[in-house]
Structure 1
Amino acid sequence: MDRSHKPSALTPSTTGPQPSVHSEQGRVIATLPTGDSVEVLLYGATVVSWKHNGRENLWVSKAAKLDGSKPVRGGVPVVFPCFGPPPKDHATSALPQHGFARNSTWQYLGKSSSESGKLASGGDDAVKLDFGLSSAELSEDAKKAWPYDFGLVYSVTLGKDGLQTMLNVQNKGKESFEFQMLLHTYFKVDDISKVSLTGLGSATYVDKVLNATTHTQSTPSLSITGETDRVYTAIKQDTTSILQDGKLRLDVIRDNLVDSVVWNPWIEKAKGMGDFEPKDGYKNMVCVEVGAVDGWQKLEAGDTFEGGMIVKSHL
């Protein structure tokens, strides 16, 4: 895939240890000198592990398929170009739920230092991994279902205090297209009954558990006490924070995105999903998913769109 802003190569430093990056069996693993690490499958460019200070921050189902046979249940699946079941009257109507990005095999485009990003002050503090997907790499079925010429570059940056994931969408064709995108992140928590989310107060949301009715969140914090499936739109605050026992655990910072989904399947829905294990795993996860899902993003020929998140750990 051609990239107009190809990152410079990681320059070895003589002043100390450098991040290590290696690929094996369809995955890329990066580790900082601190021991922090990130692991990304080429299938779906799905981040399946992010460890900070020896602690895993992402939840992955024990029954998740990591062999490319179906989208991964857990981690950070990439949703593109449609969120949820596509509408019948739209150009994405022939695509499966959540589109094709999460069940396509991406190319690993290489690593670079990240000295100018929000997560790094020097080349040994962070490493950026780039993954690419274009129309040429899609299955024949996906090409027929969505026949646009596009290019995606997904950048995963591991920093000493956080993780950044950014999706760059380029329209390489001669006609405009519409899309939605979402980073369907499953965060690992100790006990969902002691978790609260802040940063969504006064925001409008569509509650899919309540027949897709529209509501406004009246409380400054949200607790998960049952099945939760809310699409928050036009959120004014950039950061949604996850608190455990009243203590700040993770900050999820939207970058050029104003929508977020909050999801937890709870008891019955977890039982009904064959790839959700253990069945009481809902007690140890919550999805906070940044995206552009309220309506459609229109991208003219030759234009690009970029959006993503920075997640900071407070442990």
Structure 2
Amino acid sequence: MPVEELEDRVIITDPIDPTNTATILKYGATVISWKNQSQEKLWLSEGAHLDGSKPVRGGIPLVFPVFGKQSDETHPTFKLPQHGFVRNSTWEFLGQTSENPITVQFGLGKENVDPEAYKLWGEGKYDVTLILTVSLTKDKLVTSIDVENTGKDAFEFNWLFHTYFKIPDITDTLVNNLIDHQVVDKVLGEEYVEKAPAIGFHEEFDRVYKDVHEDKTLQIIELGKVLVNVDRENLPDAVVWNPWINKSAGMADFTPKDGWKNMLCVEPGHVSSMVDLKPGAKWTGSQILTLGGEIKIQANIY
């Protein structure tokens, strides 16, 4: 069965290869599993709440309409909790849209969001329709979002695919093709130009890379082997994050406590600036994840 809808989740299976599957939780429309040849490619905390009580720790949570916590008290997103409301709202399963590649869609509108939570965004005056499309083929998972302004007022928003990858060992892992890009380093509280041809990890890491050219493929590499390629459409920024020891210890839903050794977030988004969406307008962004292949060195593509 290529599409199986359960009460709380939807499981899609590649019709050509049944060992290639993805599981999408209706809560948050969070992809909580992507198995290729029966091997899990996403990291999901053992302590993740899958019952709708709080956002899921792991998988691919969705961030909208604000990334992090808004610091500008005058902005309509200021009262919202960190990362907004879509990752802790229950989405509607809209069904299958394609057989090959196997593709499904989920929708979220004002009517699907807790009214008290929605009021925190511009006093609830905005109307938005979100459509998430998830597509699965051999060695590839694509997640795309359509944001449509269905109201009378323009609004600004951030979008982020907060993707947690499962990796063998963070200390053996590199991410390439971010050299020469402006980066906001949240650990150091500084902004500078990245000069490392490949990024390694040996402590807490939390950086936002700005305006990364779409032609650049971000690769997660372990001991010379490409684990996954992260490509983006209309998502100019990339967040790279690993909480390391102390931050992991402080998160109740992050287990096992040494789970930081086996996860890395590489997150395509539009977060260093906001998208301004006029009434009736639509915006689309996509994350394309592909397994394996050759190491690409893309130093200066402008």
Normalised by the length of structure 1, the TM-score is 0.89
- What's 2:208 paired with? 231
Asked whether the equivalents of residues 60 and 163 of structure 2 are also in contact (C-alpha less than 8 Å), the reply is yes
Secondary structure of 2:187 counterpart: helix
Q: Superposition RMSD on alpha carbons, in Å?
A: 1.1
CA distance in 2, matches of 1:298, 1:105: 25
CA distance in 2, matches of 1:112, 1:127: 8
Asked whether the equivalents of residues 105 and 132 of structure 2 are also in contact (C-alpha less than 8 Å), the reply is yes
Secondary structure of 1:129 counterpart: strand
- What's 2:237 paired with? 259
- Paired letter, 1:68: G
Secondary structure of 2:256 counterpart: coil
CA distance in 2, matches of 1:199, 1:308: 19
Q: Count the aligned residue pairs.
A: 286
Equivalent positions of 1:107-256 (< 5 A) are 107-113=92-98, 123-124=99-100, 126-146=101-121, 147=124, 148-211=126-189, 213-236=190-213, 237-256=215-234
CA distance in 2, matches of 1:197, 1:219: 10
Say yes or no: does 1:43 pair with 2:27: yes
Secondary structure of 1:128 counterpart: strand
Q: Out of 249, 253, 268, which is 2:246 matched to?
A: 268
CA distance in 1, matches of 2:160, 2:166: 18
Asked whether the equivalents of residues 58 and 187 of structure 1 are also in contact (C-alpha less than 8 Å), the reply is yes
Q: Gapped runs of 5+ residues in structure 1? A: 1-18, 114-122
Asked whether the equivalents of residues 46 and 76 of structure 1 are also in contact (C-alpha less than 8 Å), the reply is yes
Secondary structure of 2:220 counterpart: strand
Asked whether the equivalents of residues 75 and 185 of structure 1 are also in contact (C-alpha less than 8 Å), the reply is yes
Asked whether the equivalents of residues 28 and 40 of structure 1 are also in contact (C-alpha less than 8 Å), the reply is yes
Asked whether the equivalents of residues 85 and 118 of structure 2 are also in contact (C-alpha less than 8 Å), the reply is no
Runs in 1 of length 4+ with deviation above 2 angstroms?
Answer: none
Secondary structure of 2:3 counterpart: strand
Asked whether the equivalents of residues 23 and 31 of structure 2 are also in contact (C-alpha less than 8 Å), the reply is yes
- Paired letter, 1:225: H
- Paired letter, 1:134: G
Please state how far the C-alpha of 1:255 moved relative to its aligned partner.
1.0
CA distance in 1, matches of 2:38, 2:8: 24
Map Cα deviations across residues 22-81 of structure 1 (whole Å, 9 max, x no partner): 111310001113120000000000000001122110000000000000000000000000
Say yes or no: does 1:54 pair with 2:38: yes
- Paired letter, 1:258: P
- What's 1:30 paired with? 12
Q: Out of 258, 272, 275, which is 1:280 matched to?
A: 258
Asked whether the equivalents of residues 242 and 250 of structure 1 are also in contact (C-alpha less than 8 Å), the reply is yes
CA distance in 2, matches of 1:203, 1:136: 40
Q: What's the % identity of the aligned pairs?
A: 46
Q: Gapped runs of 5+ residues in structure 2? A: 294-302
Asked whether the equivalents of residues 238 and 258 of structure 1 are also in contact (C-alpha less than 8 Å), the reply is no
- What's 1:70 paired with? 54
Secondary structure of 2:67 counterpart: coil
Asked whether the equivalents of residues 233 and 258 of structure 1 are also in contact (C-alpha less than 8 Å), the reply is yes
Asked whether the equivalents of residues 80 and 180 of structure 1 are also in contact (C-alpha less than 8 Å), the reply is yes
- Paired letter, 1:100: F
Map Cα deviations across residues 83-110 of structure 1 (whole Å, 9 max, x no partner): 0012222101111100001000000001
Please state how far the C-alpha of 1:270 moved relative to its aligned partner.
0.5
Please state how far the C-alpha of 1:143 moved relative to its aligned partner.
2.3
Secondary structure of 1:70 counterpart: coil
Map Cα deviations across residues 172-227 of structure 1 (whole Å, 9 max, x no partner): 0111000001000000000111100011111111000002x101110210001110
CA distance in 2, matches of 1:253, 1:203: 16
- What's 1:118 paired with? none
CA distance in 2, matches of 1:263, 1:41: 23
- Paired letter, 2:96: K
